[in-house]
Structure 1
Amino acid sequence: MGAAVARLSLAAGYDVAIAGSGAPESIATLVRHEAPGATAVTAADAARADIVVLAIPRGKFRALPVEALAGSLVIDAMNYWWEYDGAVPELSDPLTSTSQTLQSFLVGARVVKTLNHMSVYALEHEALPAGASGRKALAIAGDDPRDVAAVCAYVDAIGFDPVVAGDLSTGVMLEPDTALFAADETAEEVRAILDRFWDSQRGRVVARARAARLE
């Protein structure tokens, strides 16, 4: 996922820096091979980018540099898989989206959810110019309209139609076990899937939990 997003960003004319969990030297060869033109940097250096894309295992989000990311516009492209990440109650709580949990942890950062629900194949091979017939769409969820607008512009630049789902709580509609997840669709169909969310099994579970909280 990280490499695919890096290549898309490079093709769109962005300067791209990639960081891992260790020193830049530990990933330099991989970066040259997987994303020619990108630069291997420290996590602290990557955090100073105009847009930071998080594409690490969701269960490791507490290893992120909170202070370095304060003030940064952060795209949450991560998904929670209990089979891989282990059971993490705060990430499976239907009262919140996983992006809200991330936002609570990354104090001072500005989190926007996108890039996570489309298959890596579609990201890699189905990007198209704006206005092209059959162009695929990416749903976006975020609390600040200015940040959402900035991410919409980025999504459009890398080859996909942006579809705003709502605030960060609606990021639950983009997560695994929803109809949108792994659905590589046009903007019209993405909107239709989002509209049907509350009638789905996952939507009903979330709605019941959130209604009970208000009682």
Structure 2
Amino acid sequence: MRIGIIGAGHIGATLARQFARIGHEVVISNSRGPQTLQALVQNLGGGVRAVTPAEAVAFGEVVVVSVPYGRYRELPAEGFDGKVVIDTCNYYPERDGHDPDLDSGATTSSEKIRDQLGGADVVKAFNAIHWENIRDRGRPKGDPERLAIPISGGDEDAKAVVAGLIRDIGFDPLDAGYLGRGGSKHQPGTRLYGAELNAEEASALLHTHAG
């Protein structure tokens, strides 16, 4: 599968390494240009290439958006039709500035990103797990210490693609529901956010979720 990643921070770079490790074609981008990523891609290995954000969108069948939420309006404005978009972003007011729509609970960061991308098939995932765990904690299927990763989205086919990627790098996907209502269950401030739980434990927590 071809995977384009926008954002070369801890989450974006770690996902690039993991997806390349299991045989996917991966490109990675940031806001400063491919020339600033040469040392990173050499370190990542697996044939990962550095490109521009627009090139990452054009390349990927799956596009990972892993930028600070406060900069989501800088994402490429087009090219997302027919793509599965993985949103790893979280809203942190102290970093991103206050967003009245999010502060009031009127919508979620993922829904605003979806709208920015022209209604792409957005799946929220990898936002509730520490990047070090993505790097270090992958386990074989059936291992009781295999961690769960909550996902949410409106398109079942898109969620199935993301769930498959999660399984392939050594984790269990946990379907939290639709993008808005589901995403609100694993955003910062919830009990699932940052929780290191297996699928059974995480599912129990999800279904007794009280924020």
TM-score (norm. length: structure 2): 0.89
SS at match of 2:157: helix
1:76 Cα deviation after fit: 0.4
Question: 2:22 is matched with which residue?
Answer: 12
State which of 187, 190, 209 in structure 1 corresponds to 2:202. Answer: 190
Aligned partner of residue 129 in structure 1, secondary structure: coil
Instruction: Using the aligned pairs only, state the percent identity.
Output: 37
Q: Which of 110, 113, 120 is matched with 1:109 structurally?
A: 120
Closer/same/farther in 2, CA of residues 105 and 93 from structure 1, 3 Å limit: farther
What's the offset of the Cα at 1:185?
0.8
Contact 1:71 1:108 in 2 (8 A): no
Matches within 5 A, 1:163-178: 163-169=174-180, 170-178=182-190
| RMSD of aligned alpha carbons | 1.4
- More deviation in 124-133 or 143-152? 124-133
State the alpha-carbon separation in 2 of the partners of residues 29 and 87 from structure 1.
34
Sort the Cα spacing of 1:108 and 1:97 in 2 relative to 1 into closer, same or farther, 3 A.
Answer: closer
**Is the aligned partner of 1:59 residue 2:67?**
no
What is the distance in 1 between the residues matched to 2:141 and 2:21? 14
Can you give the 5+ residue segments of structure 1 that lack an aligned partner in the other structure?
Answer: 204-215
TM-score, reference length from structure 1: 0.87
Provide Cα deviations, 1:52-109, integer angstroms capped at 9, x if missing partner. 1111111100000021223321100011111111112233331322111111111042
- Residue matched to 2:13: 3
Count of equivalent residues: 198
User: Partner residue of 2:192?
Assistant: 180
- State the AA in 2 paired with 1:3: A
Answer 1 or 2: which has greater helix percent: 1
Query: Which residue does the alignment assign to 1:208?
Result: none
Alpha-carbon contact 1:91-1:101 (below 8 Å) kept = no
Deviation per CA, 1:129-158: give whole Å up to 9, x if none. Answer: 222232111111010111111111111111
Range moving further from structure 2, 179-188 or 91-100? 91-100
After TM superposition, give the deviation of residue 23 of structure 1 in Å. Answer: 2.5
1:36 pairs, out of 45, 48, 53, with 45
Contact 1:79 1:116 in 2 (8 A): yes
Alignment of 1:1-215 (within 5 A): 1-33=11-43, 35-37=44-46, 38-48=48-58, 49-169=60-180, 170-197=182-209, 200=210, 203=211
